[in-house]
A = this chain, B = another copy of it.
Amino acid sequence: MATDPTPRGRRPGDSGTRDAILDAARARFAGEGFRAATVRAIAGDAGVDPALVMHYFGTKQALFVAAMEFPLDPAQVVPRLLGPGVDGLGERLVRFLLTVIDDLGDANPMLGLVRSAVGHPDAARMMREFLGEAILDRLAAAVSEHTGADRPRLRADLCASQVVGVLVARQILALPELAAADRETLVAAYGPTIQRYLTGSLAP
């Protein structure tokens, strides 16, 4: 009747352990950021020894990079949002973002990146480069081609600042009326802001 200490070797069958670790890592990084999320906690969530995490990913850093891989390809998303033209682009972008936030829930890589970037320079650089090359430059180029607006990259940066602000104020700080507002209310509030940043006049 001895409670057997979990046996040492391999498990029978196809255990999706690697994916379990990745899921747990995504959730922990998104919920606590790089520093506060411990390898031990992630391993615990995945029902696994910490050493197994290192066996699969080598270091905590590498696990972070693997877990934060973005589930959507910006090279497809940006053109799709711009498909119907530049009219209503702001609202489409905001609605898309809010939908993605709701769908991803706990394991949102955007949250993981923001939470980690703050207080971890490497993650900040990682996020700045990903945001910049994959999204903002693309968005800037596309919009400037459609409208010939001036300072396209500044416009994209302005959008990013509002998007990051929504993420932090709503998902992390949980400002009450912002967290409670339903999606279309926020689309109506933020849509015109983004639209103006992208295509409106920035002079006083």
Binding site for B on A (CB under 8 A): 32-33, 35-36, 91, 114-115, 117-120, 124, 127-128, 131-132, 136, 151, 153-154, 157-158, 160-166, 168-170, 172-178, 181, 184-185, 187-193, 196-197, 202-204
Contact = CB atoms under 8 A, between A and B. Distances in A.
Number of copies of this kind of chain in the complex = 2
A115 B124 contact: no
12 contacts: A36-B120, A91-B204, A127-B173, A151-B177, A157-B177, A158-B190, A160-B175, A161-B166, A162-B165, A165-B168, A188-B202, A188-B204
Contacts of A189: 154, 158, 197, 202
A203 B186 CA distance: 10
A134 to B, nearest CB: 13
Nearest to A158: B189
Given A119-B33, A119-B118, A169 B164 contact: yes
